[in-house]
């Protein structure tokens, strides 16, 4: 899975100047063929820490300048992540707008490449549980979902 930061292009989507697909799949710098083979099954668009798009990759091509343009369709499997927290976090001032994440990590507890190893995240259905190294946990619940908390017996 490739997660792209749409900080520069998503405002143009919000004003109608650019499509969500173009912003997410559009021209990306310094993406190797090896990274596409290993991680290029899905592209998620991130804006301000939230997943705003999810596309299954059906192909790609390179521009004359070497930029990668993905071809894709809205993801059936990962579309439920749209509107929820991004599975990765960018640090302020981080220049690279791309993270690579093993797709399996959203159905297990593998850490993201480039993300702190002390952070774990799992997606079950449309529920996203993130556990930080400091012991805090965040559960993102889909609209209309419910959560029951049962305390562990002493």
Q: Which of 23-27, 83-87, 132-136 is predicted with the least confidence, judged by mean pLDDT?
A: 132-136
Residue 98 domain flag? yes
Residue 112 domain flag? no
The pLDDT of 69-78, averaged and rounded, is 93
Residue 22 and residue 141: Cα distance in Å, rounded?
28
DSSP letter, residue 42: E
pTM of the full structure: 0.69
pLDDT of residue 24 exceeding 60: yes
- Give the chain's domain count: 1
| pLDDT at residue number 123 | 64
Tokens found for residue 141: 């619940």
| pLDDT at residue number 6 | 94
Residue 19 domain flag? yes
- List the one residue out of 91, 81, 112 whose CA is nearest residue 1: 112
| pLDDT at residue number 41 | 93
Tokens found for residue 100: 């690579």
């Amino acid at each position: 899975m490739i997660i792209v930061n749409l900080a520069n292009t998503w405002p143009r989507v919000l004003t109608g100047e650019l499509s969500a697909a173009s912003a997410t799949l559009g021209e990306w710098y310094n993406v190797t063929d090896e990274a596409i083979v290993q991680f290029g099954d899905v592209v998620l668009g991130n804006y301000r820490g939230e997943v705003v798009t999810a596309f299954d990759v059906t192909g790609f091509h390179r521009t004359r300048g070497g930029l990668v343009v993905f071809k894709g369709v809205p993801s059936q499997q990962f579309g439920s992540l749209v509107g929820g927290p991004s599975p990765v976090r960018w640090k302020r001032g981080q220049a690279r707008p791309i993270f690579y994440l093993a797709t399996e990590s959203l159905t297990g507890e593998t850490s993201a490449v480039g993300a702190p190893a002390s952070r774990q995240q799992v997606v079950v259905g449309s529920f996203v549980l993130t556990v930080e190294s400091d012991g805090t946990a965040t559960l993102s619940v889909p609209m209309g979902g419910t959560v029951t908390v049962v305390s562990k017996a002493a």
